Amino acid sequence: MKKLSLLIALVTATPALAASQNPFSGDFWTLTNTNLIVLLGFLVFVGILIWKKVPALLGKMLDDRAAGIKSDLDEARALRDEAQSILASYERKQREVQDQADAIVAQAKKDAELAAEKAKEDIKTSIQRRLAAAEDQIAAAEAAAIRDVRNAAITVAIGAASDIITKQMTAADANTLIETSITEVGEKLH
């Protein structure tokens, strides 16, 4: 510390010594010389700073500041690590939820396909049953010519309804339509 103070004094005193006057001449060492007064004042100022231990205080302040910055950096690193772990946790949860959603969608598709197949089979069975009932009525009504015409129209209507039902209607609509058609056919034949 003393070497540093001496070095500072010598470096700062250099402009005063570099003045136009020779420092070893008698004129430089008089109190009327402003360069000497400035040099002495500066040396006294530096001496007071050293005596009051200002460089040590500045060093301590800088060390405290560095320690504060280091603790802030450590805290920031800890917060970043915590944030990264939370982010990883949320990403993992998001993947799990996405996997569950995909599984639910896949199961729903399978269930829908099974329900559609079952509905098709139910419609086929229902249509076959209804067709059998209609054929029985047609066979009983073959005696009369009017009944033959009506029976032929019914057969064509049932075939067209069957095509429309299988192509455009849902299972519930198809069942309702078939039941309505059979009721109307029954009313017209009796």
Q: Between the ranges 30-44, 98-112, 131-145, 154-168, where is the mean pLDDT highest?
A: 98-112
Pick 131 or 20 by higher pLDDT. Answer: 131
Which of 174, 168, 178 shows the shortest CA–CA distance to 119? 174
| Mean pLDDT value across the chain | 81
Domain ranges of the chain: 2-52, 114-189
Share of the chain above pLDDT 90, in %: 32
- The confidence band for 3, taking pLDDT boundaries of 50, 70 and 90, is low
Whole-angstrom distance, CA of residue 76 vs CA of residue 112: 53
Whole-angstrom distance, CA of residue 48 vs CA of residue 10: 16
Whole-angstrom distance, CA of residue 64 vs CA of residue 57: 10
Render pLDDT for 36-83 as a digit per residue (tens, 0 to 9): 889 889 999 988 888 888 888 888 899 999 999 999 999 999 999 999
Residues 182 and 130 sit within 8 Å (Cβ to Cβ): yes
The token pair at 108 is: 């729903």
pLDDT of residue 16: 47
DSSP label at 77? Answer: H
What is the tally of helices (H) and strands (E) in the chain?
A: 5, 0
Residue 59 CB-half CA count within 13 A: 6
Whole-angstrom distance, CA of residue 49 vs CA of residue 56: 10
Render pLDDT for 121-143 as a digit per residue (tens, 0 to 9): 888 888 888 888 878 877 665 56
DSSP label at 29? Answer: T
